[in-house]
Amino acid sequence: MKLPNILTVSRIFLSPLFIIAFMFDTLPSYIICFFLALIIELSDMFDGFFARRNKQTSDFGKLMDPFADSISRFSIFLCFLSADLAPLWVIAIFFYRDTLVSIIRVFSVLEGFVVSARQSGKIKAWGQAVSIWLVLILIVVHKAEWWPWLAEVPGRYHMLTSIIIFIAALITLWSGIDYWNSHKKAVINAMKPKPTA
C-alpha cells in the first residue's frame, strides 16, 4: 500500500468514528467531529497530491478514491439528517448522484477505460466539504450558545443548516448530470446485445 492509497482507505475507517462521535451529542464530541471532517477532507486533498508527485497513480486509486469520498461524506450527511438539520429529499440527492456515478464507472470499466475525476466532481467535492465544515461550526456554536442570534427565532438554526446543505445538494446534482452527459455512452453500449461466438 502506497501512501496515497493509505490516505484514501483511511477515510473509510474514519467514517464510523465520525458517526460514533456525533451520536454522543455533546459539545466536545461535535468539536471532535469537526476535526475528523477536517482530517477526512485533508486526506482527500493529499492522496491526489502525493499520487501525482510520486507518480503513484493507479486504477485502484482512481476507483477507490471516489468510493472513499462517498462513504465518508455520506456518513456525515446521514448524521446531519438524524439531527434534523436537512430534509430527507435533500440528503437523497447525495446518495443518488454517487450511485449514478458509481454505475457509470462500472460500465466504463466494462468498455475498457477508467473514468477519472471531472472538474464538476472536484467542485462538488469542495462544495460538500465547505458545507460540512460550516454546518459543524454552526452545531458547535449553537451547542455552546456562543451566538444567541441562532436561537432568537424558533427554527432559524435548522433553516440555516438546511440552506447550506441544499446549496451543496444543488452543486452535487449538477455534477451528476455532468457525469451522465459525458459518459452515458458507456451505459448505453452495455445495454446493447453482444454478438456470441
Rounded Cα distance, 101 and 178, in Å: 10
The CATH class of 3-191 is mainly alpha
pTM for the model stands at: 0.89
Helices 3-23, 59-82: axis angle to 10 degrees equals: 10
The three cell numbers locating residue 158: 435548522
- Domain residue ranges in the chain: 3-191
Rounded Cα distance, 73 and 56, in Å: 25
Angle at 87 between CA 15 and CA 97, to 5 degrees: 60
> pLDDT tens digits for the chain (197 residues)?
688 788 889 999 999 999 999 999 999 999 999 999 999 999 988 877 777 777 767 767 777 888 899 999 999 999 999 999 999 999 999 999 999 988 888 888 777 776 767 899 889 999 999 999 999 999 999 999 888 888 777 789 899 999 999 999 999 999 999 999 988 887 787 777 766 65
Give the Å distances, CA to CA, from 111 to 100, 131, 181, 187. 17, 35, 16, 9
